[in-house]
Structure 1
Amino acid sequence: MSLRRAKISIVGAGNVGATCAHWCAAAELGDVVLLDIPQTEDMPRGKALDLMQASPIMGFDSNVIGTNSYDDVAGSDVIVVTAGIPRKPGMSRDDLLNTNARIVTAVGTEIKNCAPDAIVIVVSNPLDAMVQQMWKVTGFPPERVCGQAGVLDTARYRTFLAMELGVSVEDISALLMGGHGDTMVPIPSCTSVGGIPITQLISSERLEEIVDRTRKGGAEIVQLLKTGSAYYAPAAACAQMVEAIVRDKKRVIPAAAYCDSQYNVGGYYVGVPVVMGSGGIEKVIELDLTEKEQGDFRRSVEAVKSLVATMDGLLSS
C-alpha cells in the first residue's frame, strides 16, 4: 500500500498565505506549495526555504516549496486562495470588489485546469462574493468550494468575550452567521462560557458593543498596522479548516457555504455552521433561530446578494 502526505497549495504568498503555510507545515498537515504571481519572482521560494530551515528547530517534516507556476499545484488535495489586494486604511472590504473578483476569476480558471479534484478554501475579500465567483468559475460541486470567514469572526468574538470576562478563550463557545462584514449576525442562543449562557454573564447592551467591535475587528487592525491588514488570526483560521479536511475531523465550524433551500437562501454562499471533513462541506447545519436572529440573518443574506449582483455587473462591463 502506498501512502502519501496531503498536498496543500496556498495561492498568494503574502502575509496571510505565508503565515498559513507556517501553521500548516508546523502542524504537519501535509506538504505545502506556496505560489505567487510571476511578478513576485523568487519571493515565494525565499519564504518557503526560510520555513523549511525552521523545520529542524521546530521538529516538523512537512516539505515546503515556493513557486510561480501552477504546474506545482497539480494534484493538490486542498487549495487555500489568499490572492488579491489587501485592505488599506479607509477601505472597506467592498472597495476591493472589482480588482479581487478579476484576480479570483483568473485563479479559479487555473485551479480548474490543474487541480480538478481539490477542495478550495477562499480567503480573498470581500469574502462572500469571492467564494461565489470561485464556485462559478471552477464549476466544482458546491461542497468543494467554501470560504474562510466564520472561524476568524468567531475567534475574534471569543477573544473579546474572554477579555471582557477574564476567562480562558478555551471555555467560550460562540457562533456568528451571515456575511463577513458589518452585517454578520451573532447567535446569542449558541454562545456560552463553560456551558453557561452568555446572557447570564453579560448584559445585552454590553454584548452588542462586543459584537460591534467584532464586526469591525479587521478594520481595527488595519488602522493599527497602517500598512497592511490582519494575518496571524486569518491564517490560523485557514489552517484549522485545512486540518478538518486533511484529517477528516468532522469539525462543526462556521464557514461560507453554499445554501439553496437551507435557510431559504436561494443559491448563495453565506456564513453558516457546517460539518467539515474530507469531503469539504459535508453538511450545513440548520438552526432554529429566534425571530430577531432570523431577521438579522435575512438582512445579511440580502447584503451578500447585492454584493454578488454588483460584482457580476462589474465583471460583465
Structure 2
Amino acid sequence: MEKQQNYEALQRISRITAHLAPFTSQMEEADLLRGSVCRSKGGSSGFKVAILGAAGGIGQPLSLLMKMNPLVSVLHLYDVVNTPGVTADVSHMNTGAVVRGFLGQQQLESALSGMDLVIIPAGVPRKPGMTRDDLFNINAGIVRTLCEGISKSCPHAIVNLISNPVNSTVPIAAEVFKKMGMYEPKRLLGVTTLDVVRANTFVAEVLGLDPREVNVPVVGGHAGVTILPLLSQVKPPCSFTTEEISYLTERIQNGGTEVVEAKAGAGSATLSMAFAAAKFADACLRGLRGDADVVECSFVASEVTELPFFASKVRLGRMGIEEIFSLGPLSEFERSGLEKAKKELAQSIDKGIRFIRK
C-alpha cells in the first residue's frame, strides 16, 4: 500500500512539473498528451493550440492571452530559445488550459502533434545593418521550416500566420504546403487584424465613439499602401470629410511606423499585435466550435481580385474559411487606393512564391 501511495505521489509531481522541461522522447510525449493528463482537474474541454515563436516580443504576451482563453484546453509553446521560462511563467496562471513547453527544432513535430490551431509569430526584427532582403530571407526560412513541421504533424490544423512580411509569408506557406501535398487554402490565414484594430481605434477617436462599437473593414494586404481601410463601409454608418479620409487612411497604413518611432528604436508593435492575434485566434476557435456569423478580415487565397492572395472579410467555421466576401461598393478614393495596393501586393506575393520555387 505504501509503495502504491509513493508511486502515485511521484506521478502527481511528475505531471505538475512536466511542462517545465521539454519532452525527451516520443514515449514520454505520448504519455503526457493523454486526455487524463492534459486536462486540469475540473477543466472544461476545448481546443489544442500551438504558438510557434512563443518566447518572442509578440509570442510572450500572446501566450498569456491564449492561456486566458476559455476555448483553449491545451497550449503548446514552442521556440528555439527561452521556452522553459515562458512556459513556467504562463503555466502558473489559474486558468483551464494546460501548458507544455518545447525547445528547439528537434521538438517542433512534438509541439505540433494533434493541434487544432497553430499561431506563428516567429521571426526576427530588423536589426541595424540588416537590409530588407536579409530580413526577408531569415523570416522566410523560418516560416518554411515551421510549415514543413505542420505538414507532418497537424496537416489539418488552422494556421494563423503573423510572421512578417505577411504579404510574402502567406504565399511561402502555401507553396510549402503544396510541395508537401497538404495544401488546404481554407485553413491558411494571414493575420491582418492589427490593421482592423487600429482602424477601429483611430476612427472612434475622430467620431467620439467607443472603439469596441466601431467596425472598419480593412482589405488588400498588411504593409504600407497595401493596407486599404474601407471607410465608406464603416459601421455604424457615418460620413467623413476628404481631409478626415486622407488622415485616417495614412495613419492606419503607417500605424506600425508610429509605434516604432515612439519606441525610439527599442522595438515595434508587439503588445497591440499580440492583442490583435489573440482576437483573431479567438474568432477561429469560435468558428471551429460552430458559432454562427464569425466574420473577420484576413489575408487569404482569394479570387476577389486577379491576385492569388488578398485580404478580405471572411466568414469562419468548422473547416476554417467558409465564405470570402466581395469588396462591395467602393468610393473613388478607395478604388484609387485599390490599384496602388494591387501593384505592390503583386510584387510581394511573387517574391514569396519565388523563394520556395527557386
User: Given the superposition, is the C-alpha separation of residues 316 and 131 from structure 1 closer, same or farther in structure 2, using an over 3 Å criterion?
Assistant: closer
CA distance in 1, matches of 2:220, 2:101: 35
Q: 1:294 aligns with which of 326, 335, 343?
A: 335
User: Given the superposition, is the C-alpha separation of residues 207 and 298 from structure 1 closer, same or farther in structure 2, using an over 3 Å criterion?
Assistant: closer
Letter in structure 1 aligned against 2:78? L
The 5 A counterparts of 1:153-302 are: 153-183=195-225, 184-192=227-235, 195-197=236-238, 199=239, 202-225=240-263, 226-248=265-287, 249=291, 250-260=293-303, 262-265=304-307, 268-290=308-330, 292=332, 293-302=334-343
Contact 1:97–1:311 at 8 Å: present in 2 too? no
What's the Cα RMSD here? Answer: 2.3
- The yes-or-no answer on 1:64 pairing with 2:96 is no
User: Given the superposition, is the C-alpha separation of residues 303 and 90 from structure 1 closer, same or farther in structure 2, using an over 3 Å criterion?
Assistant: farther
- What's the % identity of the aligned pairs? 27
The higher relative CO (CA closer than 8 Å, separation ≥ 6) is in 1
Cα displacement (A) at 1:92: 9.3
CA distance in 2, matches of 1:295, 1:278: 36
Cα displacement (A) at 1:121: 0.6
Q: 1:17 aligns with which of 45, 59, 68?
A: 59
User: Given the superposition, is the C-alpha separation of residues 85 and 116 from structure 1 closer, same or farther in structure 2, using an over 3 Å criterion?
Assistant: same
CA distance in 2, matches of 1:162, 1:136: 39
Cα displacement (A) at 1:283: 0.9
How many equivalent residue pairs? 299
Could you tell me which runs of 5 or more consecutive residues in structure 2 were left unpaired when the two chains were aligned: 1-34, 36-43
Corresponding residue of 2:25:
none
Corresponding residue of 1:102:
141
Corresponding residue of 2:8:
none
Letter in structure 2 aligned against 1:168? D
CA distance in 1, matches of 2:300, 2:167: 9
Tell me the SS of whatever aligns to 2:119: strand
CA distance in 2, matches of 1:281, 1:93: 32
User: Given the superposition, is the C-alpha separation of residues 23 and 154 from structure 1 closer, same or farther in structure 2, using an over 3 Å criterion?
Assistant: same
Could you tell me which runs of 5 or more consecutive residues in structure 1 were left unpaired when the two chains were aligned: none
CA distance in 1, matches of 2:145, 2:339: 31
Cα displacement (A) at 1:170: 1.8
Contact 1:123–1:148 at 8 Å: present in 2 too? yes
Contact 2:294–2:317 at 8 Å: present in 1 too? yes
Tell me the SS of whatever aligns to 2:297: strand
Letter in structure 2 aligned against 1:217? G
Corresponding residue of 1:304:
345
- The yes-or-no answer on 1:34 pairing with 2:77 is yes
TM-score w.r.t. the length of structure 2 is 0.77
Cα displacement (A) at 1:222: 1.5
CA distance in 1, matches of 2:53, 2:241: 42
Cα displacement (A) at 1:294: 3.5
CA distance in 1, matches of 2:346, 2:234: 27
Cα displacement (A) at 1:90: 10
TM-score w.r.t. the length of structure 1 is 0.87
Tell me the SS of whatever aligns to 2:136: helix
Contact 1:218–1:229 at 8 Å: present in 2 too? yes
Letter in structure 2 aligned against 1:274? V
